[in-house]
Chains A and B, each alone.
Chain A
Amino acid sequence: MKTIRMTRNRGITLGLLLIAFLILAFLPQVTSGYVITLLIDILKFAILTVAWVVFSGPSGYMSLATAAFYGLGFYIAAVFSGTFPFPVLVIMAGAVAFVVALGVGALTLRLRGVYFAIFTFALVLLVQNVVLEIERVVTETRGRFVDTVSTEGVYYAIFIVFVLTMLTAVLIRRSRYGLALQSIGEYEEAAAHSGINVVRTKVLTFAVSAIFMGMAGAVIATRRTYIDPYIAFNLNTSFLPVLMAMFGGMTNLAGPVIGAALFTYIGEILLTRFPDLYMLIFGVVLILAILFMPNGVLGLAQRVWRKIRGGRRAPA
């Protein structure tokens, strides 16, 4: 009985995913303008949030380095804009982010808890200032121009990166790496003494999650035409994915996606309807969400669902 229900549930999930995929894939053929622009934003944040959750979720290492890898993507797109075709830029950005994350990870993942968070936070400032200084001394400019890509092109690029991010996230979760990360998050010492190469597991997953952050940066940079280090390495890019993941819930991968989508959408509505009170309302919503939805929107939904079903099953 149980297995039958489980396979049916899995079938439904796969069906829903397929429908969502098809809608997202064909949307630009039917609509354009605002919906597409909003979806680009949502997909961007979904990528950043899921990529963040891949590493920080199970391992418990709170990374605030997202903006560093995302910003590097911006700069790859800007520096090589016109030299290489758009898809090559995106792949390059992913590769550079991966390599930088490997180096940073090897240096910092010995740090635990809040020290790791603070280091990654400082990393964003460090990279920002290094880029700023290089631009000042070497190129004697402050910003750069990026060749634009059509809205439809950007949409498909970010959509493809999103699909890749999701596939990778699912694969990591289901692989031995997923269990290794989880046990590191539970008790790192015990994990090491049970045969897990904790350093390699942490550094590699950290670097893989950075690939998608870098790719997203390179895609979004083309929406900007002009970028400078303050735009590229904006600390909000580090904090928002963390909030979105908490808002959506991290028990499974739908959580971060839902969190990113709702968060972006609510932000958009508040910004257009109440531009003056935007941040205030947003702050209140966030505090309420964290206080009353410890497992995020997804956790709340599951609780409500269980109540409804439970009520139906056990007529008292």
Chain B
Amino acid sequence: MRLLEGEGLTRHFGGLAAVAGIDFHVDQGEILGLIGPNGAGKTTLFNLISAALKPTSGTISYQGSQITGLPPYKICRLGIARTFQTVKIFAHLPAVRNVIVGSLFGTGSRTSGAEALRIADEELEFVELSSLRNVPAGDLTLAAQKRLEVARALATHPTLLLLDEIMAGLTHTEVDEAMDLIARIRARGITVIMIEHVMHAIMNICDRIVVLDFGLKIAEGTPAEVAVDEKVIEVYLGEEI
């Protein structure tokens, strides 16, 4: 079943088409990888889905209904949560308060304070940050801040989660932990779209991969198909992988 579908999505920045007429979809329960060189339009596509940006043209439908043009908070309450390429945490608030923001405002139904706190603690537990719950988010390590963003997103009870390079800048061990985290997110029945440059992670986790270059979709398929695609090798992967 199609959970999210974009048709002819286009976004111009001045004369530059960051995303140029992309059709894509993600199925319920799937993990979709989004790869491509820097400036290919991956984050712009996330911004269009999460309504940080309005598309110049094209439409997005979610669970069968149009969501193009809705404000970001409504997108979130409908069940599409996201993290950011450069972490955007509430640095002066304790970790747990960061997550409470998600559970208090983002679930789409009115949550009591006590319930929001319970959900927040559950999600902190899930991303293994319980021991740091009272630490101001700005004092956490980068890896922990990225996990905190995931917890905040999960606290909104999403159906679809957009992960924007949560492995960038992490050590090998931390990347393995992040892969394990994504597997556990999938086990909860949450559909995931992830942007990532860590190839072995992408190839291992994703069910399907979409490759962008200069705002265009140049390939799409299973990791095995994409890995041998000539165009993909030429613009992104390079000869040997």
The yes or no answer to A194 lying at the interface (CB within 8 A) is yes
Chain B, interface size category, equals: 20 to 34
Measured CA separation A176–B105 after assembly (Å):
9
CB <8 Å contact, A187 and B88 = yes
Q: Across the two chains, which residue of chain A brings its CB closest to B155?
A: A194
Q: Across the two chains, which residue of chain A brings its CB closest to B110?
A: A176
Contacts of B77 in A (CB 8 A): 195
Considering the complex, which residues of chain B in the window 44-103 have a beta carbon less than 8 Å from any beta carbon of chain A?
Answer: 50, 52, 71-73, 75-77, 81-82, 84, 88-93, 97, 100-102
Of A187, A189, A194, which contacts B105 at CB under 8 A?
Answer: A194
- Residue picked from A190, A193, A196, A197, most chain B C-beta under 10 Å: A193
CB <8 Å contact, A193 and B104 = no
Quick one: CB contact mask for A178-205 with B, threshold 8 Å, 1 for yes? Answer: 0110110011011111111111000000
Of B72, B107, B113, which contacts A193 at CB under 8 A?
Answer: B72
CB <8 Å contact, A186 and B106 = no
Contacts of B50 in A (CB 8 A): 193
Q: Across the two chains, which residue of chain B brings its CB closest to A184?
A: B90
Of B72, B100, B153, which contacts A192 at CB under 8 A?
Answer: B72
Contacts of A176 in B (CB 8 A): 104-105, 113
Q: Across the two chains, which residue of chain A brings its CB closest to B104?
A: A176
The yes or no answer to B152 lying at the interface (CB within 8 A) is yes
Interface of A is mostly: helix
Asked if A179 meets B52 with Cβ closer than 8 Å, knowing A190-B90, A195-B77, A197-B73, the reply is no
CB <8 Å contact, A186 and B156 = no
Measured CA separation A194–B153 after assembly (Å):
7
CB <8 Å contact, A196 and B88 = no
Of A180, A189, A194, A197, which contacts B71 at CB under 8 A?
Answer: A197
Chain A: minimal CB distance from B90 (Å) = 4
Measured CA separation A25–B216 after assembly (Å):
71
Residues of B bordering A, CB below 8 Å: 50, 52, 71-73, 75-77, 81-82, 84, 88-93, 97, 100-102, 104-108, 113, 152-153, 156
Q: A190-B89, A193-B82, A195-B108 are in contact. List 14 more A-B contacts (CB 8 A).
A: A176-B104, A183-B93, A186-B89, A186-B91, A187-B89, A189-B52, A189-B84, A190-B90, A190-B152, A192-B73, A193-B50, A195-B107, A196-B105, A198-B73
A-B contact pairs, 22 of them (CB 8 A): A182-B90, A183-B90, A183-B93, A186-B89, A186-B93, A187-B91, A190-B152, A191-B101, A192-B52, A192-B71, A192-B76, A193-B76, A193-B81, A194-B102, A194-B152, A195-B77, A195-B105, A195-B108, A196-B73, A196-B106, A197-B71, A197-B73
Question: Nearest 8 A-B pairs (CB), nearest first?
Answer: A195-B106, A186-B90, A195-B105, A190-B88, A192-B72, A195-B76, A187-B88, A196-B105
